[in-house]
Structure 1
């Protein structure tokens, strides 16, 4: 399953970086740290803090909902899209089960995609390549 945060999707976009993460909770802060380190030289026009937050939420979801009978990993990639940044998070799973939730104030979970939806110019999900 792939989540893509993007503005202008294109197959010709240069990949600026990527990381492979084990599906364990410790990978979430690692993804934020690595992204900040690897994106810094590119001085993106977008907010690095917003991107790191979205990556954190999507990696959390990828770990929580990834499914495979074989050992698996989470793959995060980011690409230049003109002046925008496209981020992809891949895991094995079922994209039909992805949905935007509207949790109650007392609910402890269910806000990740709401955060992504409020920050990203656009986002979508579908099968990983």
Structure 2
């Protein structure tokens, strides 16, 4: 796992958008649409497709593995830190439960965090300020200088 030394805290950077999603599969394409809607006009220099894939993987994981005794939601927010893009996905699961798996060639699931690891400059897992878990990724040089 890569470590985001810059920190995934709200005090860092400018928030570009946020949304709250129901923990259901339909939330994954909704997250992609809204991210594109809010970030596309800002002129990203990095791959929008890579960002959308990473968001899809993290929101899918949050929907599939988030657990709470009461009704809950997934929260997604994205930030600009200088020239870097940071995306945070929050769910009520336990941070210790987030880990990369080693799927076999026949496994249908289990590659999400590996994709995030390959496509991002860094990623991290931390307790969410809303309770539960926050999984974040950072893409450096996301905007032209």
TM-score computed with the length of structure 2 as normaliser: 0.81
Structure 1 runs, 4 residues or longer, greater than 6 Å off: none
Q: Which residue pairs with 2:59 in the alignment?
A: 59
Q: Which residue pairs with 2:78 in the alignment?
A: 78
Higher relative contact order (CA 8 A, sep 6+): 1
Give me the whole-angstrom Cα distance separating, in 2, the residues matched to 1:73 and 1:84. 27
For these two proteins, the number of residue pairs brought into alignment is: 125
- 1:51 match: secondary structure: helix
- Ranges in structure 1 where 5+ consecutive residues have no aligned partner: none
Q: Which residue pairs with 1:28 in the alignment?
A: 28
Query: 1:15 touches 1:79 (CA, 8 Å); kept in 2?
Result: yes
Shift of 1:46: 2.0
TM-score computed with the length of structure 1 as normaliser: 0.91
In the alignment, does 2:43 pair up with 1:43? Answer: yes
- RMSD over aligned CA atoms reads 1.6
Give me the whole-angstrom Cα distance separating, in 2, the residues matched to 1:79 and 1:106. 36
Give me the whole-angstrom Cα distance separating, in 1, the residues matched to 2:78 and 2:32. 13
